[in-house]
């Protein structure tokens, strides 16, 4: 090989600067928006930059709105290792559909704890159920009663079902709370839980959230994925893991259903419809971890048991 040819190869392998002066030296965790024709190379935030686009690595133009049908995408990055939760079946239904399906045939007496604004309670009442909704938050909905789950006296029961959506993970006395809920249930009554596993939030989930946050707010940068992951785990260090929730439920109830579910767009992106659709699709494809956890458990007189993990 001549020295001239060798020099040409070396030059071709060297990082090439963008027209804005940035240099692409490392793989980007994001892909080009397939339906946008104005995507520049990654990390270029100048709207005037028109560097040649890569078919597998670029990001939206700064200051421009991507088409509503478009969604940020990412390649697989670190954190793909399978965990116990990965063996659970995947449920991509909206939480309202999950809860309605798990409830007895209406009319049923239903208690929802941590009801928030009361949207789910309204949905269940519309379906024909008799719903008591409680929440200690002063910003609760007008039809939600003030109080925690402990403020629901046992003589108000028995209830045919108790619904706890994104509640159990932050309860300091998880065992005591579940014991109290069991006392509120009728024999054979169901505890329906929608929650999430903080340990399932890893690199891919952080990159996906950072991409969507950047899409919604141009002040975010794609490079914020690592900071997003660190901030998430720092902010959720004191809550119960998905494994802890499962073990506590199985010790007190007969768990008849345990599934994974998309939850990031619901909990952190204001239920953005495009983000929810994108998250469901990626969870089905296996390119994004399903962070949500859903359980249906029946009050049992003896020791509870695990639902089979598939």
pLDDT tens profile 56-86: 323 333 233 333 334 444 332 223 333 445 5
99-109 residue pLDDT tens: 999 999 999 99
Q: What is the mean pLDDT of the chain?
A: 75
Examine residue 189 and state whether it is found in any structural domain, yes or no. yes
Residue 7 placed within a domain: no
Looking at the DSSP assignment, which residues form a beta bridge with residue 196?
292
Q: Omega of the bond prior to 95 within 30 degrees of 0, cis?
A: no
Please give the pLDDT value at position 4. 53
Q: Are residues 30 and 160 in the same domain?
A: no
Q: Does residue 136 share a domain with residue 30?
A: no
Measuring CA to CA, which residue among 116, 254, 244, 110 is closest to residue 174? Answer: 244
Name every residue whose Cβ is closer than 8 Å to that of residue 63 and which is 6 or more positions away in sequence: 47, 218
Find, among 194, 26, 12, 16, the residue nearest to 97 by Cα.
194
Shared domain for 239 and 136, answered yes or no, is yes
**Residue 32 predicted with pLDDT over 50:** no
| Contact (Cβ atoms closer than 8 angstroms) between residue 32 and residue 56 | yes
CATH number (domain holding residue 248) = 3.40.50.150
Any domain includes 10: no
**SS3 category, 52:** coil
| Residue 310 lies inside a defined structural domain of this protein | no
- How many domains does the chain contain in total? 2
Q: Is residue 211 part of a domain?
A: no
Least confident segment among 174-178, 236-240, 306-310: 306-310
Does the model's pTM come out above 0.85? Answer: no
Instruction: Give dist(CA 115, CA 113) in Å, integer.
Output: 5
Yes or no: say if 39 and 61 are a contact pair by the CB < 8 Å rule.
yes
**Does a structural domain hold residue 6?**
no
| Confidence tier at 284 by pLDDT (50, 70, 90) | very high
């Amino acid at each position: 090989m001549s020295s001239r040819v060798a020099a040409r190869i070396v030059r071709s392998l060297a990082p090439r600067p963008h027209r804005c002066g940035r240099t692409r030296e490392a793989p980007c965790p994001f892909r080009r928006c397939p339906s946008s024709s104005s995507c520049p190379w990654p990390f270029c935030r100048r709207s005037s930059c028109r560097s040649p686009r890569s078919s597998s690595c670029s990001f939206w133009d700064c200051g421009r709105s991507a088409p509503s049908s478009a969604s940020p995408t990412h390649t697989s990055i670190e954190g793909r290792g399978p965990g116990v939760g990965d063996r659970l079946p995947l449920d991509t239904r909206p939480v309202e559909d999950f809860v309605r399906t798990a409830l007895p045939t209406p009319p049923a007496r239903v208690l929802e704890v941590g009801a928030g604004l009361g949207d789910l309670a309204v949905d269940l009442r519309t379906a024909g159920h008799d719903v008591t909704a409680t929440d200690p938050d002063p910003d609760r909905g007008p039809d939600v009663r003030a109080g925690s789950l402990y403020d629901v006296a046992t003589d108000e029961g028995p209830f045919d079902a108790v619904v706890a959506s994104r509640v159990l993970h932050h309860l300091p006395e998880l065992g005591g709370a579940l014991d109290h809920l069991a006392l509120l249930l009728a024999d054979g009554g169901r505890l329906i839980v929608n929650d999430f596993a903080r340990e399932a939030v890893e690199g891919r989930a952080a990159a996906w959230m950072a991409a969507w946050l950047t899409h919604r707010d141009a002040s975010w940068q794609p490079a914020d994925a690592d900071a997003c992951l660190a901030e998430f785990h720092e902010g959720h260090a004191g809550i119960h893991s998905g494994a802890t929730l499962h073990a506590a439920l199985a010790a007190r109830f007969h768990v008849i259903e345990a599934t994974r579910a998309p939850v990031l767009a619901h909990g952190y992106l204001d239920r953005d419809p495009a983000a929810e659709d994108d998250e469901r699709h990626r969870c089905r494809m296996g390119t994004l971890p399903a962070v949500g956890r859903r359980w249906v458990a029946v009050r049992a007189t003896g020791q509870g048991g695990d639902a089979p993990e598939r």
